[in-house]
């Protein structure tokens, strides 16, 4: 607890009390779980099928579920604990490292919302699994920026580099989908056109 209190003193705008860190961490863990679950079960197809349909590649459930649901949620939780509570499996996180992770969180939340959901919805690729819970991501991003303004002001360049990495991480998901189409010819399909219903092959 002393390590968390020291971390809070260095990065939190609310001072050295760990209370607000735990409140924000619980929201982070819950919002991530809600969003990932909605991307999996919140629409007629899971997110990996929708992404694959846009790029014209069939992503099987045995690959999509571990990557887009299990692994992604674990990564988000690890980064959340490190950035918000200043803790990792290797011990306490230094303030600069924590600010970097906080930047990663904000960049990931904004990038995911914009490129995985809002743009696709506005360009009429519907359904869009996970769209509704992006409102939670916006709330979380604002909360983190306010609650950790102190750390961000002390380490502005580190915070910015974290934001860029977080944004690129979610953009790299599209690179993975493209790579699957290029590397696995049997999975290639006719791409989904906007304004059209999602192809039947993506539903099975």
**pLDDT value for 23:** 96
**pLDDT value for 39:** 97
**pLDDT value for 170:** 87
**pLDDT value for 129:** 97
**pLDDT value for 42:** 84
Domain ranges of the chain: 2-202
First-residue to last-residue Cα distance in the chain: 49
Q: What are the tokens at 58?
A: 């069939």
CA dihedral 149→150→151→155, nearest 10 degrees, is 90
Q: What are the tokens at 39?
A: 């991307």
Angle between helix axes 95-111 and 72-80 (nearest 10 degrees) is 140
- Cα–Cα nearest to 142, from 6, 34, 27: 27
**pLDDT value for 30:** 98
**pLDDT value for 40:** 97
H or E element at residue 91: strand 91-92
Task: Give the model confidence (pLDDT) of 104-155 as tens digits.
Answer: 999 999 999 999 999 999 999 999 999 999 999 999 999 999 999 999 999 9
**pLDDT value for 204:** 86
pTM reported for the whole predicted model: 0.95
User: What per-residue string of b and e applies to 14-44 under the rule 16 or more CB within 10 Å gives b?
Assistant: beeebebbeebbebbbebbebbbebbbebbe
Low-confidence ranges of the chain (pLDDT < 70): none
Assess contact for 143 and 26: CB atoms under 8 A.
Answer: no
């Amino acid at each position: 607890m002393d390590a968390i209190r020291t971390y809070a003193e260095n990065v939190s705008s609310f001072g050295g009390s760990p209370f607000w860190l735990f409140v924000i961490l619980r929201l982070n863990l819950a919002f991530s779980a809600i969003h990932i679950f909605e991307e999996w079960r919140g629409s007629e197809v899971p997110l990996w099928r929708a992404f694959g349909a846009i790029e014209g590649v069939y992503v099987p459930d045995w690959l999509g579920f571990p990557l887009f649901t299990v692994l992604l949620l674990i990564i988000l939780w690890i980064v959340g604990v490190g950035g918000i509570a200043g803790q990792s499996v290797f011990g306490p996180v230094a303030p600069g490292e924590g600010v970097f992770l906080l930047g990663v969180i904000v960049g990931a939340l904004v990038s995911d919302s914009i490129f995985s959901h809002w743009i696709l919805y506005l360009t009429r690729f519907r359904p869009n699994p996970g769209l509704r819970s992006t409102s939670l991501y916006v709330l979380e991003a604002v909360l983190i920026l306010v609650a950790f303004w102190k750390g961000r002001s002390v380490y502005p360049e580190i915070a910015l580099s974290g934001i860029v990495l977080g944004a690129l991480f979610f953009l790299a998901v599209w690179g993975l989908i493209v790579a699957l189409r290029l590397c696995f010819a049997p999975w290639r399909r006719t791409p989904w056109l906007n304004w059209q219903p999602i192809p039947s092959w993506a539903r099975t």
